[in-house]
Amino acid sequence: MHEMSIATALLEQLRRIAAEQQAARIVEVEVHCGVMQQVVPESLQLAFEAASTDTLAAGARLKIVETGLAARCRSCGEQFEAAIDNYLCPRCRTADVEIVAGRDIVLRSVVCEV
């Protein structure tokens, strides 16, 4: 379950942010997960709850937003919404693409109590 390693890395970032902001507690966290990461939101939620026990993030609301997959065709430059199993350019019908979105996991926002 790679969601536990994601939760652990997320909590490390949250510890640093809380220290920088001199926060007493983390209330809410928003994470955007690219579809290519194949994160199971329920599993990430459970992993976050387990990993955050006895931390400043214990009890924090975790909002998980899945971001779609976008590709740019190397042949014609068309940017389009792709699928994990389909990279065919809708304009020129080639499958030579650069993935431009959908691979990242990004911590988008953190709400802290000071």
How much is the pLDDT for 67?
95
Among 58, 47, 63, 55, residue whose Cα is nearest residue 19: 55
Amino acid at 6: I
Task: Please give the DSSP secondary-structure letter assigned to residue 102.
Answer: S
Q: What is the pLDDT of residues 59-81, one digit of tens each?
A: 999 999 999 999 999 999 999 99
Residue 48: per-residue pLDDT = 98
Give the domain ranges of the chain: 2-68+103-113
Is 103 within 8 Å of 29 (Cβ atoms)? no
* Angle between helices 41-51 and 2-21 in degrees, nearest 10: 50
Write down the mean pLDDT value for the chain. Answer: 96
Instruction: Quote the percentage of the chain above a pLDDT of 70.
Output: 99
Burial class (CB in 10 A: 0-12, 13-18, 19+), 94: middle
Q: What is the pTM of this model?
A: 0.86
Q: Can you tell me the distance from the alpha carbon of 66 to that of 36, in angstroms, rounded to the nearest whole number?
A: 10
Architecture field, domain 2-68+103-113? 2-Layer Sandwich (3.30)
The candidate with the shortest Cα–Cα distance to 94, out of 66, 71, 69, 61, is 71
